């Protein structure tokens, strides 16, 4: 499975199967950052092209290297978060410095 990030596709900002003829982001990585993901409901209903796609909460890379717009946390913390999620849970992201 991959995530379509190509604005020219009717599947833009959606999970799709390979083979796929448009640009996409692989959800399988050697570094295992996408072994567990929470897909946030950003630009999903309706999907607006060029507004951006796929904000995930996923496992952080070693040394917490920056993401391309997602939220990355330790695997143990992600597993704790998942325990509290329900179908209609609203996730609020705060930047507290």
In this prediction, residue 97 carries a pLDDT of 62
In this prediction, residue 23 carries a pLDDT of 96
In this prediction, residue 3 carries a pLDDT of 96
Contacts of 27 by beta carbon, 8 Å cutoff, 6+ apart: 1, 2, 3, 15, 34, 37
Please state the pTM of the whole predicted model.
0.85
Domain residue extents for the chain: 2-84
| φ/ψ of residue 86, rounded to 5 | -125, 175
Contacts of 3 by beta carbon, 8 Å cutoff, 6+ apart: 13, 14, 15, 16, 24, 25, 27, 53, 54
What residues pair up with 16 in beta bridges, in sequence order?
2
Contacts of 94 by beta carbon, 8 Å cutoff, 6+ apart: none
| pLDDT tens across the length of the chain (97 residues) | 999 999 999 999 999 999 999 999 999 989 999 999 999 999 999 999 899 998 999 999 988 988 888 999 999 999 999 999 998 898 888 876 6
């Amino acid at each position: 499975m991959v995530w379509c990030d190509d604005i020219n596709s009717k599947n833009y900002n959606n999970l799709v199967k390979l083979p796929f003829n448009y640009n996409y982001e692989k959800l399988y990585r050697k570094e295992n950052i996408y072994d567990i993901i929470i897909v946030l409901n950003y630009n999903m209903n309706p999907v607006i092209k060029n507004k951006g796609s796929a904000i995930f909460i996923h496992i952080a890379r070693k040394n917490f290297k920056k993401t391309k717009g997602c939220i990355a946390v330790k695997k143990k913390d992600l597993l704790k978060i998942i325990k509290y999620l329900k179908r209609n849970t609203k996730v609020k992201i705060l930047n507290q410095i």
